[in-house]
């Protein structure tokens, strides 16, 4: 017999294919161990997702958002998840507290846009294991070299290439992610500038691997492109799952907009994953 108290409603959502399990724990607290999170995130034996999200009450914002990777560890930021949570708030504007800071969101014609804050560029803030210029780093892996490193709530490294289709991201992504240069590992972005208003992007996300979309990666890549004078401040970022609109404002904020969707809702017996 199922213990009804162990049943938890959840919502499966995605932003351009970047998918999430979302638990709403604002009225009832939830306890999840790293092992439970890993098992829930598993695509064959669990519900399956790129990240697991918990919505909690907050004293400084409309909601607290906690973000967990498939390795069971908490991470600081997730742009697509932020847009999903914003869409669930039932408000035209909302604030979302995250480990990386409080994010402001607004909904316009059912499209959530989130202010992802101000990026950091110092090597200690990425972090890197040694001091170097983060705008054009004197390092390389195979066909990928001279990247830009940026922290947008989580660490990203961005490579600009002539032809994105010639890059074996499945091979190079995990190699770069786990390189000793990045003590907290890193998200790997490979970008091709189409014109001054459009970028093609592929992302190897730390812990999750290749993803259909990465909101923070799109933000970091746009900032890197603007700093290198490759694009305008407002661009379309074309990811395998669809297109995000990113603006790196004159005030230094990163604005990210794009569609989100609910795939399904259900209940899960958490005792099966303990």
Domains in the chain, please, with CATH? 4-114+260-273 (3.10.310.10), 123-252 (3.10.310.10)
The answer to whether the predicted template modeling score (pTM) of the entire model surpasses 0.85 is yes
User: Given 41, 49, 84, 214, which residue is catalytic?
Assistant: 214
Residues 244-259: tens digit of each pLDDT: 999 999 999 999 999 9
Annotation says 219 is catalytic? no
pLDDT of residue 76: 86
User: Given 49, 78, 84, 219, which residue is catalytic?
Assistant: 78
Place of tokens 């919502």: 11
Annotation says 84 is catalytic? no
Q: Strand locations in the chain, DSSP E?
A: 7-15, 18-24, 51-56, 63-69, 74-75, 93-98, 101-108, 111-115, 140-141, 144-145, 148-151, 155-160, 187-195, 198-205, 209-211, 234-239, 242-248, 254-257, 261-269
Residues 31-58: tens digit of each pLDDT: 999 999 999 999 999 999 999 999 999 9
| CB-CB contact of 19 with 260 (8 Å) | no
pLDDT of residue 4: 61
């Amino acid at each position: 017999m199922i213990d009804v108290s162990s049943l938890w409603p959840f919502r499966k959502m995605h932003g351009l294919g970047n998918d999430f399990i979302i638990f709403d724990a604002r009225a009832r607290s939830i306890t999840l161990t790293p092992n439970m999170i890993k098992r829930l995130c598993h695509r064959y034996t669990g519900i399956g997702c790129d990240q697991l999200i918990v919505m909690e009450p907050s004293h400084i914002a409309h909601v607290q958002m906690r973000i967990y990777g498939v390795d069971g560890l908490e991470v600081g930021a997730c742009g697509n998840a932020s847009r999903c949570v914003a869409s669930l708030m039932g408000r035209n504007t909302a604030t979302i507290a995250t480990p990386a800071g409080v994010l402001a969101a607004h909904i316009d014609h059912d499209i959530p846009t989130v202010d992802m804050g101000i990026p950091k560029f110092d090597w200690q803030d990425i972090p890197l294991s040694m001091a170097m210029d983060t705008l054009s780093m004197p390092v390389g892996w195979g066909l990928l070299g001279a990247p830009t490193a940026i922290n947008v709530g989580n660490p990203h490294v961005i490579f600009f290439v002539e032809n994105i289709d010639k890059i074996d991201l499945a091979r190079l992504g995990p190699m770069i992610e786990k390189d000793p240069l990045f003590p907290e590992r890193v998200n790997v972005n490979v970008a091709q500038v189409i014109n001054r208003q459009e970028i093609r992007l592929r992302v190897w996300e730390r812990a999750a691997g290749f993803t259909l979309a990465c909101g923070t990666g799109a933000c970091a890549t746009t900032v890197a492109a603007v700093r290198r004078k490759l694009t305008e401040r407002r661009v379309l970022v074309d990811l395998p799952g669809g297109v995000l609109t990113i603006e790196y404002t004159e005030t230094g904020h990163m604005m990210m907009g794009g569609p989100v969707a609910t795939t399904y809702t259900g209940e899960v017996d958490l005792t099966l994953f303990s």
